[in-house]
Amino acid sequence: MKASAQLAPALCGASRIVARIATGKSLAEERAVIDVETSDSARAALIDIVHGTLRRFGRVHVMTRVLSSRGRAEPALESLLWCAVYALESGRYAHYTVVDQAVRACGLLERWSAKGYVNAVLRALVRDRESLDKAIAAEPEARYQHPAWWIDVLRAAYPERWRAILEAGNEHPLMCLRVNRRRTSLEKYLERVSMAGLRARRVGDAGLILDEPVPVERLPGFAQGEVSVQDAGAQRAAALLQLSAGHRVLDACAAPGGKSAHLLELADVRLTAIDIDPQRCKRVEQTLDRLGLAAHVSAADCTRPVDWWDGAPFDRVLADVPCSSSGVVRRHPDLKWLRRASDLAAFAARQASMLDALWQVLAADGKLLYVTCSMFPGENDDVVSAFLARTPGARRVLLPDGAPAQWLPDSEHDGFFYALIEKPA
């Protein structure tokens, strides 16, 4: 059980953040504020409550609705109850501690008159488990902790696996590392990790999965460019492009730079890395600088080659396109609740326009790798099939690693989709 000294402030801060996310703010925006405005000691509890509440949002929402005797509370109190319910169920704190600290958080939120109400709701949670379990079992959003439309799409696409996909989306994310083999070997770096008191297991050609996540400052050689943080599913991209020295390569949606860096770690290619967001381009440059790598980085919209392309075709194009991010929701739990079913058609239209534009800059006999971190066929096979149908000569080829195009999230990686498309000579 954790100490309670910081729980009331953490519940207060988390409830404010979750309330803003419930109105449409993103967790990424809120994390930036957390990192600037909170101390290291307060940050861990705050982040745990925010992420945990969002991961279980469907569940805590139903539970507070069932327990509340006076209908739906005002947003500030409702969000506090969501966060407190997560804290109660997390097992990190004694029940009496959570109840006491949630009541104290009412004062921090200047909702003094609500102390009795919050106390009663949380005590009822401890007392009325049977009725709560029945309510949760009856509502798919509470049972699976994903929106109903999301559940329906996955059930239709993966009749045998949809439950496992949903369960993976509710788990804590892995921390996977990619060793920079220009600086060290996987074997030598694994020894350094062990000497630093960290436990890890190998995954893929250059990956290590840590048993427990740690701040990057604790990773041996991180500042010196020996290692990066990158999911094992994302590490698949660079090898699939089958790079050779001297290739002209385009990373068309490069930020934050992990895949760009991996391309340069694998081969001496001439890399152009573009992203539509100038601020995110700075992150690409910072990533490459830390790793001792170089590329031409610029802010550009890949759907408008006339604005940035010099006319020299690229041998390889990496199109890691914007998508629903449905394969990485354990890292971004807010996305489950911010996305709408109607978003999928908008993403697919954008993805189609990107493929059409990038095909223009690909050399004859070149290869384009289409990548999403989505689990939804409407952003994956459907987009690729439609592109092939309208593009003379375009041919989808087998992935060189022999693995399926769609990787489902599991104990080693997040969910990703890959399709390799070849242009005729």
Would you please indicate which residues are annotated as catalytic (active-site) residues? Answer: 373
DSSP string, 247-306: -EEEETT-TT-HHHHHHHHHS--EEEEEES-HHHHHHHHHHHHHHT---EEEE--TT-GG
* β-pairing verdict for 296-299 and 227-229: unpaired
φ/ψ (deg, to 5) at 422: -110, 140
| 3-class state of residue 297 by DSSP | strand
Eight-class DSSP state of 56 = T
Three-state SS for 155? Answer: helix
Q: Quick count: other Cβ atoms within 10 Å of Cβ 130?
A: 8
Using the CB atoms, write b or e for 134-148: b if 16+ within 10 Å. Answer: ebbeebbbbbbbbbe
What 8-state DSSP symbol labels residue 223? T
Preceding omega of 256 cis (within 30 degrees of 0): yes
CA distances from 23 to 108, 123, 277 (A): 21, 28, 24
Q: CB pairs under 8 A, 24+ apart, for 193-198?
A: 193/219, 193/220, 195/220, 196/220
Measured over all CA atoms, what is the biggest interatomic distance in the chain, rounded to whole angstroms? 74
Neighbours of 49 (CB within 10 A): 25
Secondary structure of residue 398 in the 3-state scheme: coil
| Neighbouring residues of 162: CB distance < 8 A, sequence distance ≥ 6 | 151, 154, 155
Q: Which of 422, 277, 419 is nearest to 359 (CA)?
A: 422
DSSP letter for 377, please: G
- Quick check: helix, strand or coil at residue 329? coil
Q: 3-state class of 405 per DSSP? A: coil
